[in-house]
Amino acid sequence: MSEFAIEFKDVVKSFAKKNGDRQMILDHVNFSIPIGKTTVIAGGSGQGKSVTLKLILGLMPVDSGRIFVGGVDVTGVRGRELEQLRTRFGVLFQGSALFDSLSVYENIALPLRERTSKSEQEIRAQVDTILQQLELTGHDEKFPAQLSGGMRKRVGLARALQLKPEIMLFDEPTTGLDPVMTQDIYKLFARTQEQVGYTAVIVSHDIPKVFNLADEVIVLNNGKVDVFSSPEAMQWSREPHIVEFVENTMGEIYQSHLVEQ
């Protein structure tokens, strides 16, 4: 049994540009995400953060290299094997990706109806429990268009947690939310992680707030990655592109650290 939930070994991913050249997104990238921890994947726009999540989920193929989940090579798996792999993941999408023609209840019940043999009574009980835990009681008959951004995220989280995932992937989970709602969502992540015990991978622009949750940080920059054992380790890096990233994203905090020192 591997001590890592996810491992990237020498992974290359590129896209064709209009002029026929290739744009390198991940250039022989290596990193490991430890089990049970929270890893934040950071980096500027277009650096391949969401692509990394799609590669993990098998929504895109790698050009070369291997991806391991729980020590098992899952590169290029297809069909039933891929379906089986995906049952180990929960995903919270940037826009929540709720089915807008289904009610909140039906959205949350969908994975249980499709992937388990539970009776409708058992499904009702399980959905009611999660609605209560995520403070969504009374909203079960509403449709996604009738919910606020924060509520949509909570419904998306509730749906993703239904099959008790080993690994939760969060793609820009606080985009479009106000600071108070952002804090609430992060508290919710921490609480659900404690309850379910999943490995969390968070792709986020929301730095430094998301670093409160992070055990490890992976920074994507021009196809390369830098892995840090903690947000603090990243702040004290002397690599020029990391110094620039830290100054751009956490300027005030970084400066206050320097003053204290």
Partner 1 sequence: MFAQDVGGMQRNSLEKLGDSGLYVLEDIGRMGLYLLLALKGIFRRPFRFAEFMRQMHFIGAGSMMVIFCTAASTGMVLGLQGYYSLNKFGAEGMLGSAVSLTLIMELGPVLTAIMVAGRAGSAMCAELGIMRISEQIDALECMAVDPFRYLISPKFLAALVSIPLLTALFDVVGIAGGYVAGVHLMGVNPGSYLEGMRTSVTNHDLRLGMVKSFVFALLVVWICTGRGYFIYKIRGAGFGAQSVSRMTTQAVVYSSIAVLIFDYLLTAVLL
Task: Using CB under 8 A, list all residues that contact partner 1.
Answer: 20, 57, 59, 83-84, 86-87, 89, 91, 93-95, 97-100, 110-111, 114-115, 159, 163
Q: Tell me the closest approach of the beta carbon of residue 89 to partner 1, in angstroms.
A: 6
CB of 242 to partner 1, least distance (A): 31
Judged by beta carbon, residue 84 or residue 256, the one nearer partner 1 is: 84
Cα–Cα distance for residue pair 46/221, rounded to 1 Å: 9
CB of 94 to partner 1, least distance (A): 7
CB of 87 to partner 1, least distance (A): 5
Minimal distance, residue 57 CB to partner 1, in Å: 6
Dist. CA 69–CA 81, nearest whole Å = 13
Identify the H or E element spanning 244: helix 240-260
Closest CB to partner 1 among 123 and 250? Answer: 123
Give the residue with the Cβ less far from partner 1, 33 or 108.
Answer: 108
CA angle 141, 88, 150 (to 5 degrees): 35
Place of tokens 């993703």: 160
Helix (H) or strand (E) holding 61: none
> Within 13 Å of residue 98, how many CA atoms lie on the same side as its CB?
29
Q: For residue 24, with 0-12 CB atoms within 10 Å meaning exposed, 13-18 middle and 19 or more buried, which class applies?
A: middle
Closer residue to partner 1, CB minimum distance, 89 or 211: 89
Residue 245 CA, chain-centre distance (Å), reads 21
Rounded CA-CA distance 194/188 in Å is 10
**Cβ-proximal residues to 160 (8 Å cutoff; 6+ apart), any chain:** 90, 91, 92, 168
163 or 190: CB nearest partner 1 = 163
Q: Which is nearer to partner 1, 86 or 142 (CB)?
A: 86
Q: How far is the CB of 232 from partner 1 (least distance, A)?
A: 33
